[in-house]
Amino acid sequence: MLTTTRVDNAYDVALENFDTAADALGLNNDIRVMIKYPERILTVTVPVRMDDGHIHRFEAYRVQHSMVRGPAKGGVRYHPQVTLDEVKALATWMTWKCAVVNIPFGGAKGGVTCDPKHMSQGELERMTRRYTSAILPLIGPDQDIPAPDVYTNSQTMAWIMDTYSMTKGYPIPGVVTGKPISLGGSLGRSEATGRGVFNTIECACEHLRRQLKDTTVAVQGFGNAGSVAAQLLHEAGAKVVSVSDSTGCIYNRNGLNIPEVMHMKFLTGHVYGFPESEPISPAEQLALECEILVPAALENIIHAENATSVRARIIAEAANGPLTPAADRILEGKGVFIIPDILCNAGGVTVSYFEWVQDEQHLFWDAQDVYNRLERVMKTAFRDVLKIRDEHKVPMRIAANMLGVGRVAEAVQIRGIYP
């Protein structure tokens, strides 16, 4: 029976992927030691007065992996399983991700170990503002720019932006991205990750000479990225047969009505029990016979114990690190085409860059302009990765890491070391 247990340490996976790419590039040890590990790691205690009056202490982190190519960039996640190693891994992946799509940012990540589903809006606001105060020395529009991630959103970014701005005495919208439009956010930002996933799936289908129309799809994780990707695939004529969230999985062999599933999710907060669907287990969902599987939740979902049962032809990694290295090898051996996370889900950071540029210029673009620019960036990056794959006869993940690591290594070589 399949299991979705998270089995590998995410940071170990990130380091293994780096070493594989560095070996393929032939990087010398001097360059490796300068770009492999985080530049800064901040661990903070976040005391928060809860609604019942008692003080609760939260562990929180901000990791800057690299600022070689520009300011650090990366989301902030609120989740009970947040650990320092997970945040280090995510910051590392952000570095390569920014380099793959060739935007002038380095990688960072933040996290608070908490359970936001059991916290009130007031508790979340107080925790966010206290966390912002704790990481204040590290962040800034030219230094480190947070963004939304798991269980954070535009409201979270508004609180961070306001807290930072109050310490400076004037509004600084560029300190975060993923903000509400009224505070300098960008049109198209909320759906950017899912739209980028869709763009890369289009490229993969074109490369493999497959039509999207009537192609069967399963989406594991129906949050922001997964739901938007599912909607765009549905609109393109694909048959989305299964989606899931933390409450459960639903399945319809003839395809789900994704707009109606999204409406139910909006109204109830879950997809489980959707009419004209049947429940299946998370393990069964990963083993469905479908053309495209979109893991869009947390890392290490597919691993050595369950990879052999995956029957999808294409895996589009909307989540960060959903496949372990062992799963990679098994699936590559089965001929599965993998669109790696640092390429597939880079739409979010790409439009975050667009938002930052608009904030800095005080000039904003319309939504279609954002979509068009995003599509160009994503499809160019896909072609760049595919070219390395074909030239070096390596899997797509190694090719993507070679592209990202190579660009950071080049920047380090050109900049040198000071003093």
Amino acid, res. 358: Q
Token match 């302009």: residue?
A: 369
- Spacing of C-alpha 159 from chain mean position: 21
Residues in the chain: 419
Token match 């860059």: residue?
A: 353
Three-class secondary structure of residue 227 per DSSP: helix
Query: Do residues 294 and 220 touch, judged by C-beta distance below 8 A?
Result: yes
- Spacing of C-alpha 331 from chain mean position: 21
Pull the structure tokens for residue 7: 């089995």
Query: Do residues 146 and 153 touch, judged by C-beta distance below 8 A?
Result: no
CA distance 229 to 371: 14
CA-CA-CA-CA dihedral for 101, 347, 197, 386, to nearest 10: 0
CA-CA-CA-CA dihedral for 38, 173, 380, 24, to nearest 10: 0
> Among the options 73, 109, 179, 239, which is catalytic?
109
**109 assigned to active site:** yes
Q: What are phi and psi of 218, to 5 degrees?
A: -120, 135
- What's the CA angle centered on 70, arms 296 and 172, to 5 degrees? 85
Query: Do residues 50 and 26 touch, judged by C-beta distance below 8 A?
Result: no
Q: Using N-to-C axis directions, what is the helix angle for 347-361 and 192-207, rounded to 10°?
A: 130
- DSSP strand E in 132-176: where? 144-148
- For the chain, the maximum distance between any two Cα atoms, rounded to a whole number of angstroms, is 66
Query: Do residues 111 and 81 touch, judged by C-beta distance below 8 A?
Result: no
Mind telling me the catalytic residues? 109
